[in-house]
Amino acid sequence: MRGADTVAELVRRQWGDHRIGLRDEHHALTHHQVAAGAAARAALLVDLMPPVPGGEPHLGILLDNTPEYPLWLGAAALAGAAVAGINPTRRGAELARDIRHTACRVLVTQRAHLPLLDGLPLPGVRLLVTDTEAYEELLAPYGNARPGDAQLGPVRPESRFLLSFTSGSTGAPKAALCSQGRLAAAGSSLTTHFSVGPDDVHYICMPMFHGNAVIADWAPALAAGAGVALRARFSASRFLADVRRFDATYFTYVGRAVQYLLATPPTPEDRAHRLRLGFGTEAGAVDAARFRERFGVPLVEGYGSSEGGASIQRTPDTPTGAVGRAAPGDDLVVMDAETGRECEPARFSPTGVLLNASEAVGELVNRGRSTFEGYWRNPEAEAARLRSGWYWTGDLFYRDADGFLYFAGRTDDRLRVDSENLAAAMIEHILARWDRAAGVAVYAIPDPVAGDQVMAAIALRPGEVFDAAEFGAFLAAQGDLSTKMPPRFVRVMEELPLTATNKIARAVLRAAGFRSPDPTWWRPGPDTAYEPLTPTAITTLLATYSHHHRSPSYR
């Protein structure tokens, strides 16, 4: 299928296609019905957004993954409006800030989320509650609309389409801009890369307010004329049942979703499905191998931010642990942000230990063309991204002599231990090999004197207990675990705290430090065994921090 210049064109192509195009537990719509539903909502939207001075053609969507979500995405594309995906885990003033910051004139939501909006100051925002009779009555007069009948203005490739909030660990989320042309091109590129066709079914279980679900799942399905199946919210226990029910062939994941799937009890039907591919980030090589062995499905790790500033493509010769090489047109380098110089190529020992982490790990920078289109009303954030005319990703990588890039975490996940720079993701990938662990998070806590100490939070598999001696022996057996990497503190949890997009909420862990409500183990000295962190030991540690005028946690 030839490419399209806009998302609106892709929506129009669904007209007249009577194959099933959109499903969830309760609904099944043909591609034609999806296009018709989008056209009706576009016509309504045009009437709800008459031109006014200073009024932006923006609508917010505060929904679970219901059919209304892609229908309103299609409506916005046809009408020439832009969508701000609103995160339902935000609360109070923060939630109101997100809606007001993105200048939403219409907010589409559902009854389950109305308590979140109760009492919030949202002047000038028209509320549409989808699962109500009033909504159906409001939409009914537009039932005969056709794609292209109603537009707020010309729809072009450069037309603003998405305002995707980034999930930064500090400060208010930034709304990254994405045009219709960029999203259509991204969908087409993934369609080609993964050979997506009309007979595929994309299972969307990641939240659609996040760029991953829209850019990497919905857009390629739309570009290929493939079907879409929805799960309102991610559920590990229902994943395989959904995959079978919907005949799904493709899904995307973010963060720790793969670990939750692996933690479900194995069954003889684990491979009884049509699923052929999972595409996402942060699964880790160990969990990816376990997933393929159990479910027979390869996971392809990719890299590409919602901002569109840099992307990495995996090739068949990509080494284990690497993400891939720079995508065509990108000139990606690993830079030392402090010196402004390119980092050294990574050097490895025969057992795979990165020998020069301090010199090799740096920030990934795109010195070539960039599809970054900016942040909505945030020039300071744009300036931080575009320094010296280059795009700085905010992510840590290292690159080997052959040009393959390895993810090493976010810049704020860097640790400095005894004057050596470490990356949390590198340590996590090693600790994830421990067969008792269902999930691992590594983060920095302040050293009492200077720099950082390594702390790990470990969620155990069901029925497992933390055996300190066994864990210590496991660490000693890892040939690629350098002497600075073993965690001094280990917090044992039932489950790791996550953001709404299944990423680890590291800020929560860092703020607690070693003073947590969960059982915590530590090594009093570098060569000692792990032992329980007792109240007496905590008191002694706090006195040491106080003596050196240091805080025991990062907040």
Q: Which helix or strand (DSSP H or E) is residue 531 part of?
A: strand 531-532
Inter-axis angle of helices 31-48 and 68-79, nearest 10 = 60
Average pLDDT (501-516) is 88
For residues 535-555, one letter each, b for 16 or more C-beta atoms within 10 angstroms of the residue's C-beta and e for the rest, the string is eeeeeebeeebeeeeeebbbe
Confidence of residue 259 (pLDDT cuts 50, 70, 90): confident
> Residue 406, Cβ neighbours under 10 Å: how many?
23
pLDDT at 316 exceeding the cut of 80: yes
Name the token pair of 424.
């949390």
Percent with pLDDT over 70 in the chain: 98
Name the token pair of 437.
């662990």
| Tens digits of residue pLDDT in 158-173 | 999 999 998 654 467 8
Domains delineated in the chain: 7-180 (3.40.50.980), 303-413 (2.30.38.10), 418-547 (3.30.300.30)
| Tens digits of residue pLDDT in 398-409 | 999 999 998 887
Dihedral angle over CA of 142, 144, 148, 150, nearest 10:
-30
Q: How far is CA 465 from CA 214, 331, 500, 519, in A?
A: 39, 47, 28, 11
| Tens digits of residue pLDDT in 127-158 | 999 999 999 999 999 999 999 999 999 999 99
Name the token pair of 536.
């007496």
Write the DSSP assignment of 160-221 as a string of letters: EEEEEEP--SSSSPPEEEEEHHHHHHHHHHHHHHTT--TT-EEEE-S-TTSHHHIIIIIHHH
Confidence of residue 419 (pLDDT cuts 50, 70, 90): low
Distance CA 224, CA 475 (A): 46
Name the token pair of 224.
């290929």
Angle at 266 between CA 519 and CA 243, to 5 degrees: 110
Instruction: Give the model's pLDDT for residue 167.
Output: 61
pLDDT at 198 exceeding the cut of 80: yes
Q: Which residues pair with 334 in a beta bridge?
A: 364
Burial class (CB in 10 A: 0-12, 13-18, 19+), 514: buried
Q: Tell me 354's DSSP state.
A: B
Name the token pair of 538.
């905590």
Distance CA 333, CA 350 (A): 25
Distance CA 218, CA 226 (A): 9
Name the token pair of 295.
């479910």
Q: How far is CA 527 from CA 303, 320, 524, 545, in A?
A: 38, 31, 8, 21
Name the token pair of 302.
């990719």
Supply the pTM of this predicted model.
0.83
Distance CA 210, CA 167 (A): 9
Average pLDDT (480-489) is 89
